[in-house]
């Protein structure tokens, strides 16, 4: 079994071009089913979640070609509407195929999705939105059977701005007769990117980035070419690593406004942050100070996926910082591993109190989920001595060539 070995205490220096967004490419791959034509998608990161999406597309009958970071999907050959359990369990985002398959074929059969175990993440909002559009959905034996003779545009009001529910509703609405309006829609940049791809295919979608997305359905779609946006969570992880280990790093390719919740916090913690339109430079001495309470929220609030690596950076320094996790109840599984390194973290429900310590010590660690694994890497880079991190299948879901990227910045890191 592979592990990452990190000898910490080395400053990080250099520039990181940020990979394509995991949370953007997955719904776009699902959306490639809608046109029944050829979609050419650039800047696709080499991740296990992307490979899982490609496997689902191939199972459905699509022809796939990959060259470098470009994936070409020919969905004209789609010939089935079922997704087997072993493919659904590969990733949480597999739920996004529900709306796309239903829109294309009028029927979908699949099991409940898998992914990181961050606590209950029901897809009730997804199902409610699809039912509003006219889908009939039966839940039985851990699976879903969906059918729709004809989808009809309607008003959909989400009780919370769920990213996945917004995406599924957008995809299904493209095949619905008439106009669909999604109220309290998620505002994440990944929603905007999905809209851009759909519009490139000929769909009539507007409003992404606001809390109201409007789709005029049943418009003929065609082949399209699209470039996926950069991954703001990866950029936040590299910035957290630079803040924790010390040094001067640049991340490029992510609009500065998408990183503001993270860069503002790291600046309050004592880092020198310099921002341009598509580039952020961070300078740190590796010793941070406490910041006001950090509460995760939907975009444009502090992103839950950036929460663990930023928390890891703040374990070494002075003062006490309170983290409040509003999205996932099991987000703090990494704190037990950080404690093995000497971190002082007390957890009660959705609240974690981090008391800064003078230094961390390397240890044997195990990643329990994707972003928790990133937190362990950040802490290990700042620690004295050697750390060995297992559970790499979690990190492979979201970080492309992680060890090579950090080694290019001067980290002493290797995968063995």
| C-alpha–C-alpha distance, residues 283 and 297, integer Å | 26
Specify whether 116 is catalytic. yes
Peptide bond into 416 cis (omega under 30): no
Q: Are 205 and 370 in contact (CB under 8 A)?
A: no
Side by side, the strands of the sheet bearing 179-183 are 155-157, 179-183, 212-216, 204-206
Per-residue CA distances from 283 to 242, 266, 269 (Å): 7, 10, 12
User: From start to end of 329-371, where are the E strands?
Assistant: 344-348, 351-355, 364-366
Nearest to 194 by CA among 153, 233, 163: 163
Q: Order of strands across the sheet with 143-147?
A: 82-83, 107-111, 143-147, 136-140
- Pair 250, 279: CB distance under 8 Å: yes
Q: Which residues pair with 250 in a beta bridge?
A: 15, 281
SS3 201: coil
- Cα 114 to chain centroid distance, Å, stands at 14
CA dihedral over 132, 136, 141, 142, signed as positive or negative: negative
| Sign of the C-alpha dihedral computed for residues 289, 293, 295 and 299 taken in this order | negative
CA 215/CA 206 separation, integer angstroms? 7
Distance (Å, whole) CA 397 – CA 369:
9
Strands 12-17 and 247-252: parallel
**CA-to-CA distance for 416 and 403, rounded, in angstroms?**
11
**Distance between CA atoms of residues 173 and 285, nearest Å:** 50
Name the active-site residue from 116, 146, 201, 234: 116
Question: Alpha-carbon distance 185 to 133, whole Å?
Answer: 16
**Degrees (nearest 5) of the Cα angle 166, 170, 171?**
120
Catalytic residues: 116
């Amino acid at each position: 079994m592979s592990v990452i070995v990190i000898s910490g205490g080395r400053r990080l220096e250099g520039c990181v071009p940020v990979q394509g967004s995991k949370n953007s490419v997955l719904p776009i791959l699902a959306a490639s089913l809608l046109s029944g034509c050829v979609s050419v998608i650039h800047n696709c990161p080499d991740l296990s979640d992307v490979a899982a999406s490609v496997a689902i597309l191939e199972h459905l009958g699509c022809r796939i070609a990959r060259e470098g970071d470009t994936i070409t999907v020919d969905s004209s050959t789609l010939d089935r509407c079922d997704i087997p359990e072993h493919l659904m369990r590969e990733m949480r985002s597999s739920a996004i195929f529900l709306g796309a398959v239903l829109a294309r074929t009028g029927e979908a059969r699949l099991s409940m999705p898998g992914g990181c175990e961050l606590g209950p993440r029901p897809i009730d909002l997804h199902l409610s939105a699809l039912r509003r559009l006219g889908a009939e959905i039966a839940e039985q034996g851990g699976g879903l059977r969906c059918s729709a003779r004809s989808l009809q545009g309607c008003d959909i009001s989400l009780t919370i701005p769920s990213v996945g529910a917004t995406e599924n509703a957008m995809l299904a609405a493209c095949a619905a007769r008439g106009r669909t309006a999604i109220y309290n829609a998620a505002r994440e940049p990944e929603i905007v990117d999905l809209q851009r791809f759909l519009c490139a295919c000929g769909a009539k979608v507007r409003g992404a980035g606001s809390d109201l997305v409007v789709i005029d359905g049943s418009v003929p779609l065609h082949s399209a070419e699209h470039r996926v946006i950069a991954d703001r969570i990866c950029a936040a992880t590299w910035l957290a690593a630079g803040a924790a280990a010390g040094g001067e790093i640049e991340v490029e390719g992510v609009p500065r406004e998408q990183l503001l919740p993270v860069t503002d916090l790291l600046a309050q913690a004592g880092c020198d942050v310099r921002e341009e339109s598509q580039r952020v430079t961070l300078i740190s001495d590796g010793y941070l100070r406490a910041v006001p309470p950090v509460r995760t929220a939907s975009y444009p609030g502090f992103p839950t996926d950036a929460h663990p690596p930023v928390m890891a950076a703040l374990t070494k320094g002075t003062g006490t910082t309170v983290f409040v996790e509003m999205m996932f109840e099991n987000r703090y599984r990494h704190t037990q591993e950080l404690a093995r390194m000497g971190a002082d973290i007390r957890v009660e429900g959705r609240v974690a109190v981090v008391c800064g310590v003078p230094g961390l010590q390397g240890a044997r660690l195990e990643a329990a989920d994707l972003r928790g694994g990133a937190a362990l890497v950040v802490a290990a880079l700042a620690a004295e001595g050697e750390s060995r991190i297992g559970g790499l299948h979690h990190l492979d879901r979201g970080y492309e060539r992680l060890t090579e990227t950090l080694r290019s910045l001067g980290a002493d890191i290797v995968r063995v």
